[in-house]
Homo-oligomer: A and B are copies of this chain.
């Protein structure tokens, strides 16, 4: 990948891809940096700058092919190949993710699940048989696991991460609300639903009544 691409650019490429996917589904064949910018809530300059890290995709005056740019973004993001996913931690969140209806989008395939609970090992949960976490290294080699979803309890997060790393898995999607340490060759992305909750608070703070400690409405924020 090109050096020095800001992570914010990578996040925006994901957004542009989502916009292009929606446009393609709607039967739109051409688009522009202005349209992408409006949908992604950034400036058209930002769109052009983000894309320029990876080459020259548009035609001056006629914009972008929706299909063509979508394919380029899929290629840039690494979404033209299958990714083999394992869930580490088959508690309620792990099981919910195993059932998640859109995991197959862009060829993410759930191939294994792990837990330390002997009661769960051997059972089929969310369509996959649960293996013991001690089996991670062997299963990762047998099944060519690329990505681990980390959904263990917080106190178990680092120990589970160490097993994932030792198994040669190079990507971790971390759902645990803690920071885990990995060597530089392993990439961790964190899913932070509390950030979305805080954005929500901003947008509704003028709309919701303010309740004092005794439960009495005292006005609006």
Contact = CB atoms under 8 A, between A and B. Distances in A.
Copies of this chain, count = 2
Contacts of A17: 198
Given A15-B195, A96-B92, A173-B196, A187 B211 contact: no
A194 B146 contact: no
Interface string A90-119: 011101110111110110100000000000
Among A99, A105, A170, max chain B CB count under 10 A is at A170
Most chain B Cβ neighbours within 10 Å, of A6, A77, A198: A198
Interface string A186-213: 0101110111111111111111111100
Contacts of A203: 1, 10, 171, 187, 189
Interface string A169-182: 01111010100000
Q: How large is the interface on A (under 10, 10 to 19, 20 to 34, 35 or more residues)?
A: 35 or more
A77 to B, nearest CB: 5
Contacts of A55: none
A76 interface: yes
A173 B189 contact: no
A215 B173 contact: no
Contact of A189 (B1, B81, B175, B197): B197
A29 interface: no
A166 interface: no
A182 to B, nearest CB: 12
A81 B79 CA distance: 42
Contact of A177 (B81, B102, B221): B102
A56 interface: no
Interface of A: 1, 6-8, 10-11, 13-15, 17-18, 41-42, 76-79, 81-84, 91-93, 95-97, 99-103, 105-106, 108, 144, 146-147, 154, 170-173, 175, 177, 185, 187, 189-191, 193-211, 215, 217, 221
